[in-house]
Amino acid sequence: MKMLINGEWRDSVSGKMFAVHNPATGDVVGEAPLGGEDDVRSAVQAAGEAFGDWSAKSPRDRSKVLFFAATEVRRRNTDLAALLTAEQGKPIREAVDEINGFANILEYYHALSAGERGEFMNLRGYGRTTVLRRPLGICGAIVPWNMPAIIMAWKIGPALTTGNTVILKPARTAPLTCIKLAEILGDAGLPPGVLNVVTGPGETVGREIARNPGVRKVSFTGEVGTGRQVALDAAPALKRLTLELGGSDPMIVCDDAEIPMAVEGVIRGRFYNCGQVCTAIKRLYVYESIADEFVRRLTARVEAIVVGNGMDRGVGMGPLNNPAGLERVVSQVDAARDRGEGEIVAGGQTPEGEVYKRGHFFLPTLITGVPRDSVLFSEEVFGPVLPIATVSGLDEALDLANNSRYGLGASVWTHSADVIARATDELEAGIVWVNQHLKIPPEVPFGGTKASGIGRENGSRALEEYMEEKAVLIRL
């Protein structure tokens, strides 16, 4: 595949390509140009030239393109999902969900944009005042590999519909679906230069997007450390930033929780996408009085998850996306095992068998009795591993839940109105679920507190993140 600059599909300036591998088999799925700083500079030039005409269009004309693209994405859903599974590893039904999610988000911003207006105030002594909202200009969108299509939509949806132009940088290990989606947007009528896609390493392409003074805003999703680097690189030009960073979501299971529902909540909330979701359940706190029954049922359910190639029928969990991710999960579990922290009651290792040898597989893992100070609780574990601790009640559960540098999501499982009121009030998180986890409809603002990030994506407020206000006071 090629990268997209100024409406043309190009090789990189270096002329080099990099291979994208299937994480289940190691086979080459495709290749993408190894872009660098010069490619970003060309994209900035193209995006700058396209900005005038694009921002002058009516919101309706701009958002129509998103709608047409969404329709085409739904029509080609099966092929796009197969490509996503091939490069990312997730089971095909999760890939179908994600591709549909991309379309849902574009349709949401299409519907919303027609209603986006400024404000009018008639202020005595100051005259008639309007507040206009203008697009920012060129926006950088830096995307990770775990949910590439959804996260691309979270960024380009509000950016494009508000009249900005975009430079998108997909992740090294999952760029192909993003390229295909950009192609569909072009075919749907996006003018040349409005959306540019530069593939390549974070250290060159990503950093140039963060540094280049022509880029007015950077929306970044990825690890905390990388987000900090992006903020430092963007600081000299005083850019707007949205940073969606890591998470270590707690799940609190109270003594009145419906156990079968909570067990299914863990299966989806922890093992979806092989545990590689920023808002996956990464710490489980269960009331002592129900812990035995809960863990027994959960263990049986986890052991029934079929691990394999995401394209194969019946597979419930695919491989991790890349070897570095697998290595990190193995080292975190080994460190806990070496220190005797807790008991591994399910998984804890890579699966045995010839079919698993070429992929980055790890079994779905449960570890009970994990001490409060374990790295499994303090670090983000970006894979299918769930550390579990028991708690005596709500005070202790909330203390432990909030005792984290992260603050992305959290859930409480109960039917008590008092507990719901306290937990939703006190949990330090950007999103709190009750009797569910991981659901993020396009209408809901999404983002983190503490080290989990700055700013919000999704929802109507995301439009404001891509615009600035201009107050106009008229005295006649």
Q: Indicate which residues carry an active-site annotation.
A: 244, 278
* Contacts to ligand NAD from residues 440-469, by CB under 6 A: 448, 452-453
Residue 275 in tokens: 């545990």
| Cβ proximity of 391 and 286 under 8 Å | yes
Is 245 a residue that touches ligand NAD (CB under 6 A)?
yes
Q: Total number of residues binding ligand NAD (CB under 6 A)?
A: 32
Nearest to 247 by CA among 464, 83, 405: 405
DSSP for 214-246 reads TEEEEEEES-HHHHHHHHHHHTTTT-EEEEE--
Question: x/- binding map, residues 224-243, to ligand NAD, per CB under 6 A?
Answer: --x--xx-------------
Compute the half-sphere exposure of residue 18: CA atoms within 13 Å on the CB side of its CA: 18
Question: x/- binding map, residues 172-191, to ligand NAD, per CB under 6 A?
Answer: x-------------------
> Could you tell me whether strands 467-474 and 127-135 are parallel, antiparallel, or unpaired per DSSP bridges?
antiparallel
Neighbours of 388 (CB within 10 A): 24
Among 144, 359, 407, 409, binds ligand NAD (CB under 6 A): 144
Among 23, 33, 247, 308, binds ligand NAD (CB under 6 A): 247
* Contacts to ligand NAD from residues 350-389, by CB under 6 A: 380, 382
Question: x/- binding map, residues 61-80, to ligand NAD, per CB under 6 A?
Answer: --------------------
Nearest to 1 by CA among 178, 153, 257: 178
Rounded CA-CA distance 369/341 in Å is: 8
- Shortest spacing between CB 208 and ligand NAD, in angstroms: 8
Stretch that binds ligand NAD, among 7-15, 169-177, 364-372, 395-403 (CB under 6 A): 169-177
DSSP 362: -
For ligand NAD, the closer of residues 165 and 204 by Cβ is 204
| Cβ proximity of 88 and 321 under 8 Å | yes
Residue 32 in tokens: 């993408």
Is 33 a residue that touches ligand NAD (CB under 6 A)?
no
Is 221 a residue that touches ligand NAD (CB under 6 A)?
yes
Rounded CA-CA distance 152/339 in Å is: 40
**Composition of the chain by helix, strand, coil, percent to 5:** 40, 25, 35
Among 96, 159, 168, 278, binds ligand NAD (CB under 6 A): 278
Is 143 a residue that touches ligand NAD (CB under 6 A)?
yes
Among 35, 157, 222, 455, binds ligand NAD (CB under 6 A): 222
Is 270 a residue that touches ligand NAD (CB under 6 A)?
no
The position carrying tokens 């309706």 is: 60
Q: Which residues form the interface with ligand NAD (CB under 6 A)?
A: 142-147, 151, 169, 171-172, 202-203, 206-207, 210, 221-223, 226, 229-230, 244-247, 278, 380, 382, 408, 448, 452-453
